[in-house]
Every structure is written in structure tokens, then in C-alpha cells.
Amino acid sequence: MMALFKMLVFPGLLFLSAVSLFAEFFDRKLYARLQNRVGPPWFQPLADFIKLLGKEDVVPEEADRRMFDLAPVFALTAVVVAFLYIPMWGTHAIYSFSGDLIVVLYLLTIPTLTFFLGGWYSRSLFSTIGAVRSITQLFAYEIPLFVAILAPAMLANTWSLSEMAVFYHAHPYYWLINLIAFGVGLVSLLGKLERVPFDIPEAETEIVAGSFTEYSGRLLAYFRMAIDIEAVVGASLLAAVFLPFGLGLPPVIGFVLYLVKVFAIIAVLALFRTVFARLRIDQMVEFCWKWVAPIAFLQILINLVLKVFVIR
């Protein structure tokens, strides 16, 4: 019973949805304020979500009905499941096992794949181009992200997020070593969430709304929710991996600290999307492979050296 509560209510689905909707509001409000305007009211993401649930679902005739319907549900499921393995406060996630880090990374790749599938099976031109761009972009940011997360895991000598938390709790200040990888993680997360400057797959002025062009109503609501949750889960992952400090605090303060970390990361992402122009797909891929990936490997090198000569 408790497990079910944990999974569905707190800190599972319901809590996660609420935080995600608030995170979307936070992001949009901050974006608006950075642009010197007022921005949406606090309930805006919720209103958008409910409104979309209440709207007509239009499925294009040419679309593959089953894949078209399933893609958003897959996306939503994957991100919610991923959340269960991330420790929020303290050192333990709801579930954990010795390889959960890899599973989480894998689950976080699924939304991008569903964007591709959803776009591809819409059989619309803009959706198809958006879908192909999603996948192209995936290859650019995913490897740097994996490598960046590999670095702290190597240091902690484990593939489990919870065990990593234990390690960094035992060795405070070690997380400072991984700051370079944290930067790489932030950039990769921008790509994962398809935000400016990496919002190429849904570049409005080029391909309308990319993969989501044909989605409407309920299915669009699921997709939007999945992206919101992905943002929170991604930020939580970065917070857990790269900012593991203050883990021994009492639950309530620890929880607040966790939220502060997550929203700080979301704020940085919002700042990024305010001050940059969208790159082209070729520029994006070039940037990721020329700069981001080598920097991530540099971090690995540093950690290897430290591990061999200093930490043991």
C-alpha cells in the first residue's frame, strides 16, 4: 500500500506532475520577467493542461493511429518511471538497484524517441522533418551527457544513484571536482528538452511545431506534460549527480534544499533560452562534438587521474 502511495502520490506521479506544472510556470514567468514583461499567472500550465484534455482530438487521416496515440503515453510513462530511481533528499531513492543510473539515462532517452515516433507516424511534412531533427540532435547531446554523468559515477565507483549519493555524503566537497561535467550536463539537458538554442526539432519559424504539429487535444497535453516532467526529472538527475551536498539534513529541510537545487537548474536553463538565438542543426551537431564532448572527456581524464593518484 505504501509502495503504491509512493509511486502514485508522493513523491511519485501526482507530486511530480504538480512540481512539473509549477516548474513550467516558473520557467515561463522567469522568461517573461527577463524579457521585461509580466508573464502568465501561476495556474497557467494547469489551465493549459486541463483545456487540452477537454479539446477535440484530431488524428490526421494518413497517420498511423496506434503509434500516433501511443507515443505521448510512452513518453509520459518513461519519465515518471525514471523519477523513481533518483534520490531526492537523503541518500535513497524510492527504488534503487546497482545499475539504476544506466536505466535512468536510458529511460530519459525514450521521450526523444517518442517525439521521433510521434512525428514520424503523423506523416506530416513538418512532423517528419521535426522527427528526423530530433534524432539527429539526440546523437549530438546524448553521448556528452552520458560521458558527463560517467565522471562522477567513476569517482564514486558505482552505477547506482543511491550509492553515489552515499559516497558523496561520505566525502563532502568531492562534488566540486565534477563542476565541468555539470556544465556539460546543463548543455546536454538543454538539447534533451529541446530548448533554445537547441530547439531545432520544434523550431517554430521553420517547421511550425516539429513533431507535435499534428497533435492536438489530449495527446498534446500528454506530450507537454511529459516534457515538463522530463525537465524536472532531468534537473533532479543533475542535482543528484552533480550537486550532492546537504544530504544529511532532516527530511523537511532536505526536501526544500532539493527543490531549491532543481529550480536553480531550471532557472539557469530559462536564462539560457532567454539570451541565445537558435542554432542550425549543423551548427548544433558541430558544437556538441567539437566542444561539449571533448570537455566531457576532459572531465573523465581528470577524474581518472584523481582516482588513480589521489582518492584510491
Partner 1 sequence: MSDTENVKSKLEAKFDFLKDKVLLQRERRLWAEVPYDKFMEVFDHAVKQLGFAFLNTITGLDAGADLEYIYHLAQAEGTMLNLKTKQSKDKPIKTITGYFPSGIIYERELVDLLGAKIDTLPPGIRYPLPDDWPDNQYPLRKDWNADVLDKNVGGKMEGENLNITVGPNYMKEPSDFSIAHTNDVTIPIGPQHPALKEPESFSVALRGEKIAAIQLRLGYNHRGIEKGAEQRSYIQDVYLIERICGICSHSHSTAYVQAVEEIAGLAVPKRAQYIRTIIGELERVHSHLLWLGVAGHEIGFDTLLMYSWRDRESVMDILALITGNRVNYGMNLIGGVRRDITKEEIDQTLKVIDKLEEQTKYYIQLALEEVTLIQRLSGVGTLTTDDVLRLGAVGPTARASSVPRDVRRDDPYAAYGEIPFKVITDNHNDVYGRTIVRMLELMEAYGMIRFALNNLPDGPISVRAPRKIPAGEAISRYEAPRGEDVHYVRSNGTENPERVKVRAPTLANTQAVSKMLEDRYLADLPIVVAAIDPCFSCTDRSISVVSLDNEERKTMTWKQLRDYSVDWYKKQGVDFSKMKRSSF
Partner 2 sequence: MKKPFVHPGKMIEFVLQSLFKKPATVNYPFEKMKMPEHFRGKLNFMADKCIGCMMCVKDCPAKAIQIKKVGEKRFECDIDLGKCVYCGQCVDSCPRKALEITPEFELAQIDRDKLKIVFHAPEPTTEPKAQ
Partner 3 sequence: MKVIDKIVHWARLKSPWILHFNTGACNACDIEIIAALTPRFDIERFGVQLKGTPRHADILVCSGPVTRQIRDRLVRIYEQMPEPKFVVAVGTCATSGGVFQGLYNILGGIDQAIPVNAYIPGCPASPQAIIDGVVKLLKKLEESE
Q: Are 288 and 144 in contact (CB under 8 A)?
A: yes
In the list partner 1, partner 2, partner 3, none, the entry touching 271 (Cβ below 5 to 8 angstroms by class) is partner 2
Among positions 5, 18, 35, 62, the unique one binding partner 3 when judged by CB under 8 A: 35
Please say which residue, 32 or 105, places its beta carbon nearer to partner 2: 32
Task: Output Rg (C-alpha) for the chain, integer angstroms.
Answer: 19
Between 124 and 137, whose beta carbon lies closer to partner 3? Answer: 124
Give the N- to C-terminal CA distance of the chain in Å, as an integer.
43
Judged by beta carbon, residue 35 or residue 98, the one nearer partner 1 is 35
113 binds partner 2 (CB under 8 A): no
Site for partner 2 in 264-303 (CB under 8 A): 271, 274-276
Residue 33 binding target from partner 2, partner 3, partner 1, none, CB below 5 to 8 Å by type: partner 2
The nearest distance, CB 117 to partner 3, in angstroms, is 18
Which residue, chain included where needed, has cell 517573461?
32
Closest separation in Å from C-beta 17 to partner 3: 15
From 28, 8, 11, select the one nearest 224 (Cα to Cα). 28
Taking CB under 8 A as the rule, does residue 44 contact partner 2?
no
| 205 lies in the site for partner 1, by CB under 8 A | yes
C-alpha torsion sign, points 33, 39, 45, 49? negative
Which of 4, 37, 41, 250 forms a contact with partner 1 (CB under 8 A)? Answer: 37
Query: Could you give the C-alpha distances from 236 to 158, 199, 262, 297, in angstroms and in order?
Result: 19, 21, 6, 23
> Per CB under 8 A, does 53 bind partner 3?
yes
Closest CA to 212 of 110, 108, 109, 126: 126
Candidates 259, 265, 280; CA nearest to 15 is: 259
The span of 16-24, 35-43, 94-102, 234-242 binding partner 1 (CB under 8 A) equals 35-43
What is the footprint of partner 2 within residues 2-41 (CB under 8 A)?
A: 32-39
Q: Does 46 bind partner 3 (CB under 8 A)?
A: yes
Among 1, 2, 4, 36, binds partner 1 (CB under 8 A): 36
Task: Please answer whether residues 266 and 273 qualify as being in contact, where contact means their C-beta atoms are separated by less than 8 angstroms.
Answer: no
Residue 28 sits in the site that holds partner 3 (CB under 8 A): yes
CA distance 251 to 259: 12
Q: Name which of 126 and 258 has its Cβ closer to partner 3.
A: 126
Q: 278 is written with which cell numbers? A: 537558435
Give the C-alpha separation, 53 to 247, whole Å. Answer: 38
CA–CA separation, 209 vs 199, rounded Å? 10
**What is the Cα–Cα distance from 307 to 174, expressed in whole angstroms?**
11
Interaction partner, residue 147 (partner 3, partner 1, partner 2, none; CB < 5-8 Å by kind): none
3-state DSSP assignment of residue 89: coil
Q: Contact, 274 vs 31, CB < 8 A? A: yes
Residue with cell 559516497: 167
Within 174-213, the residues that bind partner 3 by CB under 8 A are 204-205, 208-209, 212-213
Rounded distance between C-alpha atoms, residue 272 and residue 98, angstroms: 34
Q: Which segment (42-50, 79-87, 93-101, 255-263) binds partner 3 by CB under 8 A?
A: 42-50
> Judged by CB, which is closer to partner 3: 116, or 212?
212
Binding site residues, partner 2, CB under 8 A: 32-39, 271, 274-276
Binding site residues, partner 1, CB under 8 A: 34-37, 60-63, 122-126, 128-129, 196-197, 199-200, 203-208, 213-214, 274-283
